[in-house]
Amino acid sequence: MKGNLLYEGKAKQVFEVEGNESLLVLSYKNDATAFNGQKKANFIGKGRYNNLISAKVFEYLRDKGIASHFEKSLSDTEQLVQRTTIIPIEVVVRNMAAGSITKRLGIKEKTVFNPPLVEFFYKKDELGDPIINDQHALILSDATVEELEEIKVTALKVNELLQEFFLGINLTLADFKLEFGRNIDGSIILSDEVSPDTCRLWDRDTGKKMDKDVFREDLGDLLQVYDNILQRLEAVK
């Protein structure tokens, strides 16, 4: 059923589905990149962890009424999704300060944002994904004012749900990035992946970072950390 390779990104390959134009197969790669691709490494097994963790997140969100591109898992490293055209805006929700905002605005790591902070970044590697405001987002995408508002509302709802989801496995959700896409029907739905590559997750007992920061900051064994998250998720229910 897997058709031609349509696109290859830093973390995933995207394949067409023979005989069905509205579906795609995502194949998660073992590559890790950080700092806009300047730091690179390959971790055998990482694709499996992100695929399985992302599938669990999307299944949970589906149960809670959040529409996403996720259809079903196909294998350890592949999932079937609805075809969408990605809106070139990375939507970041922050509950606690970490990463770029600490450097950009000099806000101390772990500073709490209440209400949570929503930021937009323009998805454009050549420009290093610059931060943008709502007006820029309208200029740089085909989303309408109403759709952009809906994206923000959905991102905040996903934040509420994911905070609870990760609390269930003793992790604090510091921040995360979402991408949205327009499906064949023209509806905007949650897309891409939600995994420790795209979230900051801190162990509630030890405070240890349990996400891609382990790779960004050379804090330890990335695969061991991702394996631990998957094990915690599999132990639930």
In the complex, the residues that contact ligand UDP under the rule CB under 6 A are 90, 92, 98-101, 129, 175-177, 198-200, 212
Q: How far is CA 60 from the centre of its chain?
A: 14
**Contact yes or no for 26/204 (Cβ under 8 A):** no
The least CB distance from residue 129 to ligand UDP, in Å, is 6
Question: Which of 75-86 are b and which e, b meaning 16 or more Cβ less than 10 Å from the residue's Cβ?
Answer: eebbbbbbbbeb
Structure tokens at 24: 């795609």
52 vs 92 by CB, closer to ligand UDP: 92
**Closest residue to ligand UDP: CB criterion:** 99
The least CB distance from residue 93 to ligand UDP, in Å, is 8
Whole-number Å distance between alpha carbons of 229 and 186: 35
3 vs 203 by CB, closer to ligand UDP: 203
DSSP string, 7-52: EE-SSEEEEEETTEEEEEEEEE-SEEEETTTTEEEE-TTHHHHHHH
DSSP string, 140-206: HSS--HHHHHHHHHHHHHHHHHHHHHHHTTTEEEEEEEEEEEEETTS-EEEES--STTTEEEEETTT
The least CB distance from residue 187 to ligand UDP, in Å, is 23
16 vs 197 by CB, closer to ligand UDP: 197
129 vs 203 by CB, closer to ligand UDP: 129
The least CB distance from residue 184 to ligand UDP, in Å, is 26
**Contact yes or no for 32/222 (Cβ under 8 A):** yes
34 vs 67 by CB, closer to ligand UDP: 34
The least CB distance from residue 63 to ligand UDP, in Å, is 23
How many Cα atoms within 13 Å fall on the side-chain side of residue 217? 11
The least CB distance from residue 175 to ligand UDP, in Å, is 5
17 vs 210 by CB, closer to ligand UDP: 210
